[in-house]
Chains A and B, each alone.
Chain A
Amino acid sequence: SKEKTESGQSQKAQKTYQWKMVTSWPKNFPGIGVAPERFAKNVEAMSNGRLKIKIFGAGELVAGLEVFDAVSSGSAEMGHSAAYYWKGKIPAAQFFTGIPFGMNAQETNGWLHYGGGMKLWEELYEPFNLIPMAAGNTGVQLAGWFKKEINSVDDLKGLKMRIPGLGGEVLKELGGIPVALAGGDLFASLQSGAIDATEWVGPYNDLAFGFYQAADYYYYSGWHEPSAVLELIVNKKAFESLPKDLQMIVKVAARASNQDMLDEYTARNNDALKQLVEQHNVKLKKFDDELIRTLKKTMQAVIEKEVAKDPQMKKVWDSYSDFQKKAVEYHRISEMEYYLNRDK
């Protein structure tokens, strides 16, 4: 009978799972859209084909912004997206993508995995039957594409810009007009002048989108998105139905994805920026110091106002800002000092 149980167990362990993953990006979109494909390939290889994941790009099964609901209901077992898209459902979710003047990728990963961030994230998603995992990071983004020069705060007045999240709120405070636009309309709107500026990701993705054809000025750095975490969300019931080894494979593959995307952006942004400046004559510009100070001051006011509205947000913000304070202090004498020394 012992033999029987063993064969029963091994039968269960040999069961193959066919899962669906919905994403918020077009399939194979450079960087963010490639990550889900690589993740699925890794999982299939590591599990020896026992967990097969079929990827559906934005719009194939559901629109990009329906990923959360589709996985929450269990219609798809997994999703790849970004937490700040769900701020209409969970205001605190935006901290788990990134916030203006917040932490960079390295620091955010530290907070998530060793600073209590993950636990808070899991708590937020628990009522929705979702398990979140960090599964990608774009690194520091650039400030975006502008049709005219931005020399002072006055130039932001009346500026129509596609910029999501808290960054948009800051722009609004300073007299600009944050505009809501789908990715597909972005280019045409910038070209037609329906908007004056847009942010996207960084040189690698921005080159791909062809923004240089529509705007002359490319500003740095991405004050509004010092890093952006991409998330893997897994339906809780589906996850718990997996044998322990497959669960671990999913977790480790997500962790690998998280690092892999950052590595890819680190490698590709350099060449893309060179191409933009040298081949497409993009005017690369730095935001004025005074302007940056104003943006930062406004950001602090905005976040205090937002956090006061929502206790969950306050809780996450306290943890986030505590960690940031400590990380910044140490990084001032390590990372930053080294960057400066290296350039001497």
Chain B
Amino acid sequence: MKLLVVLERHLQALIRVLGQSIAWLTFIMVILTCLIVLLRYGFNLGWIWLQELVLYMHAAVFMLGVSYAFQKDQHVRVDIFYRSFSAKTKHLVNLFGHIFLLFPVSILILWFSWDYVAMSWHIKESSPETGGLPFVYLLKSLVPMMSLLLMIQGVASFSGCILALYRIKHETNDKEDKAWNG
């Protein structure tokens, strides 16, 4: 149990710090997009690498932000039934989901993307556009990064679920004990 507590706390913190830092990229994206428009219309200036830079940030935002959004429970659920579930059932659904949906998907993406990204690193893949950024291999690395971060958050959420279920069980036990004694 102690291990789970420590695990949950540290992994959550890791994902949180990363998510909050990455979030600033949205602000930079806004400013750069505006700048690109101004430069193009006002000064007849434009660079493909600048366009690509914004695209890189855009990709980084959601690929690296998915796990933080997961931590904050920001991913939409179909909650017709879920909203009326008891806390315990909710935790059980989440536990089921972490094990049978989240982990298999993350592992699969990590596994399948490995060669894809390794090849890109091997040849130091560059932009297909003349004057584009020569960092396609970094961009592609976001794919396994996303699944790694999801797995980390998955372990944290899993621990959280187990701890919560444990607490619920304890509370009911306490209540039952009291009922017996009373």
Chains A and B touch (C-beta atoms under 8 A apart): yes
Chain A residues within 8 Å of B, Cβ to Cβ: 65, 69, 72-73, 85-91, 128, 157-158, 160, 164-166, 168-169, 172, 177-180, 194
- Interface presence of B116 (CB below 8 A): yes
B131/A90 in contact, CB under 8 A: no
For the complex formed, measure the closest distance between the CB of A235 and the CB atoms of chain B, giving whole angstroms: 14
A65/B116 in contact, CB under 8 A: no
CA distance A90 to B122 in the complex (A): 12
Q: Interface 1/0s, chain B 73-113, versus A by CB < 8 A?
A: 00000000000000000000000000000000000000000
Query: Taking A89-B125, A90-B123, A177-B45 as contacts, is the C-beta distance between A164 and B130 under 8 angstroms?
Result: yes
A-B contact pairs, 30 of them (CB 8 A): A72-B119, A73-B115, A73-B116, A85-B128, A86-B128, A88-B127, A89-B123, A89-B125, A89-B126, A90-B123, A160-B44, A160-B46, A164-B129, A164-B130, A165-B130, A168-B129, A168-B130, A168-B131, A169-B130, A172-B130, A177-B40, A177-B44, A177-B45, A177-B46, A177-B47, A178-B129, A178-B130, A178-B131, A179-B48, A179-B51
Of chain A, the residue at the smallest CB distance from B44 is A158
Chain B residues within 8 Å of A, Cβ to Cβ: 40, 44-48, 51-52, 115-116, 119-120, 123, 125-132, 134, 136
CA distance A312 to B134 in the complex (A): 18
For the complex formed, measure the closest distance between the CB of B43 and the CB atoms of chain A, giving whole angstroms: 9
Query: Which residues from B are CB-within-8-Å of A169?
Result: 130-131
Query: Which residues from A are CB-within-8-Å of B131?
Result: 168-169, 172, 178
A88/B136 in contact, CB under 8 A: yes
Of chain A, the residue at the smallest CB distance from B129 is A180
For the complex formed, measure the closest distance between the CB of A277 and the CB atoms of chain B, giving whole angstroms: 31
From B45, B48, B128, B136, residue with most partner A Cβ within 10 Å: B128
Of chain B, the residue at the smallest CB distance from A87 is B128
Query: Which residues from B are CB-within-8-Å of A73?
Result: 115-116
Query: Taking A177-B45, A177-B46, A178-B48 as contacts, is the C-beta distance between A88 and B116 under 8 angstroms?
Result: no
CA distance A178 to B128 in the complex (A): 13
Query: Taking A73-B116, A177-B44 as contacts, is the C-beta distance between A88 and B125 under 8 angstroms?
Result: yes
CA distance A89 to B125 in the complex (A): 5
